[in-house]
Amino acid sequence: MSRFPILAPLAFGACLALSPLVQAQDDVTLGFIVKKPEQAWFINEQDAATRLGEEKGFEVVRLAGEDGQEVLSAIDNLNSQGAQGFVICPPDVRLGPTIMRRAEQYGMKVVTVDDRFVNADGEPMEAVPHLGMSGYKIGQQVGNAIADEMEARGWDPEKVAALRITNYELPTAKKRTDGATDALLDRGFQESNILDAPQQNTDTSSAFSAASPVFSKNGEYEHWVIYALNEESVLGGVRASEQYGLAADDVIGVGINGSGAAFAEFSREKPTGFHGTVAVSSTMHGRQTAQNLYTWVTEGDKPKANTETTGTLMTRDNWEAVRDELGL
């Protein structure tokens, strides 16, 4: 009886000091590192995470990581600010093991968003919690949207080419274009009319450079459809089709994301070859990953290994309604 009142508080204090799992809630700083800080998709994710931090009382440090060096400096920078962890969309998924080594040196927790780390064998790093698109299904939605619009325009499949802008180094990108291809083939698209344009990156300018020569070498087709891992890349393909001299009516481009890049295109007075995009909530991606990391830091609950999100087709006709529905 005499010893407990003294020992119990001591033991409790020692426990708190030794337990790195649970963080006082008013002292949380989390990083949010993205590969393309200028793209609307990523700006929106970082905004949503920042807003959540304001609501819950933690700080979000927004950082760019456009290559491996920049990511490592961002992690050093976060460490000097006392951050407990970060959300990241890496510039190259193969950097996963290097990024994790640096984070572990500092005892930081890491979750990935959009692009999932792979290990040296190219397999997903299951130990790092991830949230991203269900790439194959969303790709199928793209393929079906293109097939529907081809039917609506009454195009003869023999005379239609597909510009498939690919990025096979990024697994989610491959899943998306594979899903679109499979859906198109199921709907009767001619396999030999699918022409590849491998892009170096995931942006508009790399897609434009990849697409231009494909148009100029294949002048025999009457109509074109265009797909890629995201709308930024499809827009690069659409711009290349315009430069080649194709009319908007002869092009059906369908993207993925539903971000400011698509809104700007739908807001143009005259329709372009950009028919639509499968919109996914970047707001939800940013908010949910920040929430998952915050819960992990403050309560010790590690998030689920993999969460896959779904999409909704957005066109010139419904884009504002879909945008509002997805909280964009």
| Contact flag: residue 46 with ligand FCA (CB under 6 A) | no
Q: Which of 44, 204, 230, 277 binds ligand FCA (CB under 6 A)?
A: 230
According to DSSP H, which parts of the chain are helical? Answer: 4-18, 40-56, 68-80, 96-105, 135-153, 171-186, 204-217, 231-244, 260-266, 282-299, 319-325
144 or 172: CB nearest ligand FCA? 172
Instruction: Return the percent helix, strand and coil in the chain, to nearest 5.
Output: 50, 20, 30
CA 109 and chain centroid, separation: 20
| Contact flag: residue 60 with ligand FCA (CB under 6 A) | no
| Contact flag: residue 95 with ligand FCA (CB under 6 A) | no
Minimum distance of ligand FCA from residue 52's CB (angstroms): 18
As a residue count, the chain comes to 328
Q: Which of 202, 212, 277, 288 binds ligand FCA (CB under 6 A)?
A: 202
Minimum distance of ligand FCA from residue 115's CB (angstroms): 5
Short-list 270, 216, 264, CA closest to 241: 216
Judged by CB under 6 A, the chain residues 128 through 187 that form the site for ligand FCA are 133, 172
Sign, CA dihedral 92-97-103-108, equals positive
Minimum distance of ligand FCA from residue 203's CB (angstroms): 8
| Contact flag: residue 41 with ligand FCA (CB under 6 A) | yes
Size of the residue set binding ligand FCA (CB under 6 A): 11
Minimum distance of ligand FCA from residue 257's CB (angstroms): 5
Minimum distance of ligand FCA from residue 218's CB (angstroms): 26
Judged by CB under 6 A, the chain residues 110 through 139 that form the site for ligand FCA are 114-115, 133
| Contact flag: residue 257 with ligand FCA (CB under 6 A) | yes
H-run or E-run covering 197: strand 194-198
Would you say 226 and 238 are in contact if contact means Cβ atoms under 8 Å apart?
A: yes
State the Cα–Cα distance between residues 181 and 196, nearest whole angstrom. Answer: 11
Beta-ladder partners of 276: 254, 315
Minimum distance of ligand FCA from residue 133's CB (angstroms): 5
Q: Contact positions toward ligand FCA, by CB under 6 A?
A: 41, 89, 114-115, 133, 172, 202, 229-230, 256-257
